[in-house]
Chain A
């Protein structure tokens, strides 16, 4: 099993450009999440999904959109990138009803917006 994978691993954008980050998991997990991690700020939740076709806002959703058309995929979109969105983005997933509610994280996408 690959676990949680993220594409791309690195990206540099210019202000105003758009892009989509792809997260895929092969563990049949119901819950999926997108976080951003900035120095000294910990992990902050952008959006999450409790199942296929459903999404919800997290702590810092502005400037981002998400979609979950298939259970195994969770896409994060930036419509018009801004320098404030320079960050490391982590996707995670969790199984519903698990004993420990453990989140499994992808390797991260390092995004720089110039």
Chain B
């Protein structure tokens, strides 16, 4: 089975930096996703990490440590439009196209 844990809610100030953590316990590991979901909308893909380290995409970065079962999503220069839920999901087996999702972190950005 899989256990994916992330904070339920976080708040931050416009222009600041926020880090959203995700820890996982799985029988195997073959990749970790981050998705963004605005209220009332569908999730959209942000990042996919397979190897350890940091991957940067503009204001968003995603980090993975496979030995610690840990990932984080880093959002810089926060904007009001970044208010959304952020979903962490894990593929546990090679060849599996079935990720398991965590419950999501609701991020509220205030002025």
**Does B3 touch A at the CB level, under 8 Å?**
no
Partner of A101, one of B31, B41, B44, B104: B31
CA distance A76 to B104 in the complex (A): 24
* Chain B count of residues within 8 A CB distance of the other chain: 21
CB of A102 within 8 A of CB of B45, answer yes
Q: Could you give, for residues 32-70 of chain A, a 1 whenever the CB lies within 8 Å of some chain B CB and a 0 otherwise?
A: 010000001111110010100000001000000000000
Instruction: List residues of chain B with CB within 8 A of the CB of A106.
Output: 42
CB distance from A98 to the nearest CB of B (A): 9
Write the nearest CB–CB distance from A19 to chain B, whole angstroms: 20
Across chains A and B, the number of contacting residue pairs, with CB separation under 8 Å, is 49
Residue of B nearest to A58 (CB): B98
Q: Measured between alpha carbons, how far is A100 from B100 in the docked complex, in Å?
A: 15
- CB of A90 within 8 A of CB of B98, answer no
**Quick check: B42 and A105 within 8 Å, CB to CB?**
yes
Chain B residues with Cβ under 8 A from A44's Cβ?
101
- Whether A90 and B43, one on each chain, are in contact in the complex, defined by CB atoms closer than 8 angstroms, is yes
Q: Which of chain A's residues have a CB closer than 8 A to the CB of B101?
A: 42-44
Contact with B along A91-105 (1 / 0, CB 8 A): 000101000111111
Chain B residue numbers with a CB within 8 Å of A96 are: 97
Q: Which residues of B contact A108 (CB under 8 A)?
A: 41-42
How far is A64 from B43 in the complex, measured between Cα atoms in Å?
22
A31–B91 Cα distance when bound, in Å, is: 15
Asked if residues A42 and B48 are in contact (CB atoms below 8 Å), the reply is: no
Task: Tell me the A residues contacting B by CB distance below 8 Å.
Answer: 31, 33, 40-45, 48, 50, 58, 90, 94, 96, 100-108
Closest 6 CB pairs of A and B: A105-B42, A42-B103, A100-B48, A43-B101, A102-B45, A42-B101
